[in-house]
Amino acid sequence: MTELLWIVPALPFLGAIILIILGTKLSRIAASFVGAGSVGLSALLVILIGLNYAPAAGPFRQVLWQWIDVAGLSPAFGFHLDSLSLVFIFVITFVGFLIHVYSTEFMAEDEGFARFFAYLNLFVASMLILVLADNLVLMYLGWEGVGLCSYLLIGFWYEEKKNGDAARKAFIVTRVGDTAMAIGLFMLFDIFGTLIINDILEQAPQLWSVGSQTAMVVALLLLGGAVGKSAQLPLQTWLPDAMAGPSPVSALIHAATMVTAGVYLIARMHVIFELSPTAQLCVGIIGALTLLIAGFSALTQFDLKRVLAYSTISQIGYMFLALGVGAWSAAIFHFMIHAFFKALLFLGAGAVIMVLHHEHDMFKMGGLRNKLPVIYWTFLIGSASLAALPFITAGFYSKDSILWLSFAGEKGNIWFFLAGLTGAFVTSIYTFRMVFVTFFGEAKTAVGHHTGARITIPLVILAVLSLVGGFIELPHTLGHLELFSDFLKPVLPAVAVDPSATTGMEWTIQGITMVLSLVGIFIAYHYYVRKPEQASQLKSSLAGLHRFWFMGWGFDNLYDSVLVKPYVFLATVNKNDIVDKFYSLIVYTTELLHRIFARSQGGILRWYIMSMVIGAILILTLGLLL
Partner 1 sequence: MDQVPTEAGLILAGVLFTLGLISVLIRRNIIFMLISVEIMLNAAGLAFVVAGAKWSQADGQVMFIFILTMAAAEVSVGLALILQIYHQLKTLDSDAANKMKG
Q: Nearest CA to 186 among 242, 255, 117, 137?
A: 137
Instruction: Report residue 90: phi and psi, to 5°.
Output: -65, -50
Give whichever of 414 and 605 is closer to partner 1, judged by the CB atom: 605
Which of these ranges, 114-122, 383-391, 479-487, 591-599, lies near partner 1 under the rule CB under 8 A?
591-599
Which of these ranges, 23-31, 45-53, 582-590, 604-612, lies near partner 1 under the rule CB under 8 A?
604-612
Cis amide linkage into residue 458, ω under 30° from 0: no
Give whichever of 561 and 611 is closer to partner 1, judged by the CB atom: 611
Which of these ranges, 357-365, 464-472, 553-561, 593-601, lies near partner 1 under the rule CB under 8 A?
593-601
Binding mask 289-328 for partner 1 (x = CB under 8 A): ----------------------------------------
Smallest distance from partner 1 to CB 579, Å: 33
If one asks whether residue 598 binds partner 1 (CB under 8 A), the answer comes out as yes
Do residues 432 and 393 touch, judged by C-beta distance below 8 A?
Answer: no
Smallest distance from partner 1 to CB 614, Å: 11
If one asks whether residue 578 binds partner 1 (CB under 8 A), the answer comes out as no
Give whichever of 587 and 604 is closer to partner 1, judged by the CB atom: 604
Helix 532-541 / helix 543-550 crossing angle, nearest 10 deg: 90
**What's at 100, amino acid-wise?**
H
Give whichever of 534 and 621 is closer to partner 1, judged by the CB atom: 621
- Give CA angle at 38 (37, 41), nearest 5°: 80
With CB under 8 A as the contact rule, the residue among 51, 71, 597, 626 that binds partner 1 is 597
Torsion of CA 344, 346, 352, 357, to 10 degrees: -150
Q: 192: exposed, middle or buried (C-beta count within 10 Å: 0-12, 13-18, 19+)?
A: middle
Smallest distance from partner 1 to CB 589, Å: 18
If one asks whether residue 613 binds partner 1 (CB under 8 A), the answer comes out as yes
Q: What whole-number distance in Å separates Cα of residue 576 and Cα of residue 355? A: 51
Q: What whole-number distance in Å separates Cα of residue 36 and Cα of residue 118? A: 10
If one asks whether residue 603 binds partner 1 (CB under 8 A), the answer comes out as yes
**What's at 118, amino acid-wise?**
A
With CB under 8 A as the contact rule, the residue among 370, 500, 572, 600 that binds partner 1 is 600
Which of these ranges, 367-375, 430-438, 439-447, 597-605, lies near partner 1 under the rule CB under 8 A?
597-605
* SS3 of 388-436: CCCCCCHHHHHHHHHHHHHHHECCCCHHHHHHHHHHHHHHHHHHHHHHH
If one asks whether residue 610 binds partner 1 (CB under 8 A), the answer comes out as yes
Give whichever of 209 and 600 is closer to partner 1, judged by the CB atom: 600
Smallest distance from partner 1 to CB 594, Å: 9
Which of these ranges, 39-47, 231-239, 457-465, 603-611, lies near partner 1 under the rule CB under 8 A?
603-611
If one asks whether residue 602 binds partner 1 (CB under 8 A), the answer comes out as yes
Q: What whole-number distance in Å separates Cα of residue 49 and Cα of residue 5? A: 8
With CB under 8 A as the contact rule, the residue among 47, 515, 609, 620 that binds partner 1 is 609
Can you give the C-alpha Rg of the chain in angstroms? 30
Specify the pairing of strand 76-81 against strand 473-474.
Answer: unpaired
With CB under 8 A as the contact rule, the residue among 29, 573, 579, 604 that binds partner 1 is 604
Distances in Å between the Cα of 562 and the Cα atoms of 154, 180, 225, 566 are 25, 20, 21, 7
Smallest distance from partner 1 to CB 598, Å: 3
With CB under 8 A as the contact rule, the residue among 606, 624, 625, 626 that binds partner 1 is 606
If one asks whether residue 479 binds partner 1 (CB under 8 A), the answer comes out as no
Do residues 516 and 424 touch, judged by C-beta distance below 8 A?
Answer: yes
Do residues 101 and 457 touch, judged by C-beta distance below 8 A?
Answer: yes
Going by the DSSP 8-state scheme, the letter that residue 334 receives in this structure is H
Which of these ranges, 31-39, 326-334, 418-426, 609-617, lies near partner 1 under the rule CB under 8 A?
609-617
Q: Which residues bind partner 1 (CB under 8 A)?
A: 597-606, 609-610, 613
